[in-house]
Amino acid sequence: MNQVIYTVRPGNTVFAIAQFFGTTAREIANANALVYPYTIFPGQQLVIPIEEITAPSYYVVRPGDSLFSIASRYELDPKELLRLNNLENPNVIYPGQIIRLGRE
């Protein structure tokens, strides 16, 4: 089984994190010695046990991201990201925006 380290963000729950990574809240709790009701805190780092590490199909833009940095992170062509997301200006993206990475 593979593992990733995830830093908890405000509003996260163990259940939502488990859904995102395709695992269960119980597996996350066991991997991190969490006791029910699985209280977590922003900034806390959790070990997330997962079956398979796969690249995401979508990405949620964070403060400081650029289209170029996202493309670089996932080894994609920035021009392809522009096309996939119907973006005209590569310099205009905003935090919270969902960017399609083209992997489905």
Number of domains in the chain: 2
66 and 44 share one domain: no
Q: Are 45 and 5 in contact (CB under 8 A)?
A: yes
**pTM for this model (two decimals):** 0.56
63 and 42 share one domain: no
Q: Is the pLDDT of residue 1 over 80?
A: no
71 and 44 share one domain: no
25 and 41 share one domain: yes
Tell me which H or E stretch contains 69: helix 67-73
Cβ neighbours for 73, distance < 8 A, ≥ 6 positions apart:
none
CATH code, 82: 3.10.350.10
pLDDT tens digits along 86-102: 999 999 999 889 899 87
Name the packing angle between helices 14-21 and 25-32 (round to 10°): 110
DSSP bridge pairs for 48? 4
Give the pLDDT score at 77: 92
Q: Is the pLDDT of residue 104 over 60?
A: no
pLDDT tens digits along 50-80: 887 666 788 888 889 999 999 988 889 999 9
Q: Which domain holds residue 29?
A: 2-50
pLDDT band at 103 (very low <50, low <70, confident <90, very high): low
